[in-house]
Amino acid sequence: MAEQLLSTAVHDTVPGRYVRPESQRPRLAEVVAGARIPVVDLACPDSAAVVSAIGAACRSHGFFQVRDTPPPVHARTREVIYRPAIATDKACMLRLMLQILNHGIDEGLMAAVMAVARDFFRLPAEEKAKLYSDDPARKMRLSTSFNVRKETVHNWRDYLRLHCHPLDQFVPDWPSNPPDFKEIMSAYCKEVRELGLRLYAAISESLGLEAGCIGTTLGEQEQHMAVNFYPQCPAPELTYGLPAHTDPNALTILLMDQDVAGLQVLNGGKWVAVNPQAGALVINIGDQLQALSNGEYRSVWHRAVVNSDRERMSVASFLCPCNDVVLGPARMLVTEETPAVYRNYTYDEYYKKFWSRNLDQEHCLELFRT
């Protein structure tokens, strides 16, 4: 099956197995462009404002951004604050997403991650074929599309899937070529994990919970990574990099190409393009935080489109609950006025159900409603 990898050949036409039916195509001309985005700065001292801003983003859209830009006056700290980047139309902007300044991950490391990821997908076909698998249970695998065992129409994507925590358990099995792949990706995984756990605290407080509630509820967080490669596509209007979906995990931290757009989110019934920001990471709420918030926060629908001019890279890091932890609405959020929206379940049950379906079916959480 490794011959299906898109990264091993140049394509002059879109093969039939990638062509979506007319009613399922991305309709790129209808996408809303140029969304204006406010800023949350992790380096300033007023934490209450960022908790409020993150809560607004989680309720209305489920997406926000963090960006590493030095503060103008004071030294960088680990505190969380909110500073609006744009003074006008603030309510409208919060419905879309947030950027966060000073997330603490060095831009040089982020650039190195993207460079070594690109080098990996440029390896000879025979080298990549050694890592290919279409088994979703594999802890480290190179594959294509989403779930080639089940799909009738494939997606214009190759990806390297890595388990990342604990690192010493999984890194030995990661690719040894490019030679610096393990070192660079390991350093990035550590930083992303720290950022994710810090964001959990702010999200917990925004729900009126103790800062440690989400982290404690989800248990010892597993961590996965998908290194995504979207090649140039001769007819982007016929296919997807990934079709509309929500993420089955708790929190996703996405590093994207800064000069090649492709991520789009569904807002108010319209697809909105997320324009790459210098030094930015995109954060989105996964299904498990929607369940934990008793439906107050949204695991938003998003998709990846491709283009005919340039290839595109992204690196998605997923924080996931322990497989055997019992999930569902936080007890403090369930009252007579706000009864439980979802039943309790284990993450193992949820994840198996997610992978048994097509990516663009109904929201998997719908199967767990009370």
3-state secondary structure of 225: strand
- Evaluate if residue 233 carries a pLDDT over 90: yes
| Predicted TM-score of the model (pTM) | 0.88
Average pLDDT over residues 156-177: 97
Q: What is the model's pLDDT at position 93? A: 30
Residue 76, in any domain of the structure:
no
Average pLDDT over residues 138-148: 92
When divided into structural domains, the chain yields a total of 1
Looking at the DSSP bridge assignments, the partners of residue 223 are 319
- Evaluate if residue 223 carries a pLDDT over 80: yes
Residue 55, in any domain of the structure:
no
Residue 96, in any domain of the structure:
no
Q: What is the model's pLDDT at position 191? A: 95
Which residues, in sequence order, are CB contacts of 78 under 8 Å at separation 6+?
A: 42, 104, 198
Residue 250, in any domain of the structure:
yes
Per-chain mean pLDDT for the chain: 86
CA–CA gap between residue 357 and residue 287 (Å, rounded): 15
- Evaluate if residue 314 carries a pLDDT over 50: yes
CA–CA gap between residue 330 and residue 129 (Å, rounded): 44
Residue 307, in any domain of the structure:
yes
Q: Which residues of 148-157 are buried (b: 16+ CB within 10 A; e: fewer)?
A: eeeeebbbbb
CATH code, domain carrying 287: 2.60.120.330
**pLDDT more than 90, % of the chain:** 63
**Containing domain of residue 274, as a range?**
2-34+107-368
Q: What is the model's pLDDT at position 86? A: 30
Residue 39, in any domain of the structure:
no
Q: What is the model's pLDDT at position 89? A: 36
Q: What is the model's pLDDT at position 136? A: 82
The band of 88, judged by pLDDT with boundaries at 50, 70 and 90, is very low
Predicted confidence (pLDDT) per residue in 61-71, tens digit: 777 777 665 43
The band of 173, judged by pLDDT with boundaries at 50, 70 and 90, is very high
Q: What is the model's pLDDT at position 96? A: 35
Residue 252, in any domain of the structure:
yes
Residue 270, in any domain of the structure:
yes
- Evaluate if residue 72 carries a pLDDT over 80: no
Average pLDDT over residues 45-54: 79
Average pLDDT over residues 336-356: 93
- Evaluate if residue 73 carries a pLDDT over 60: no
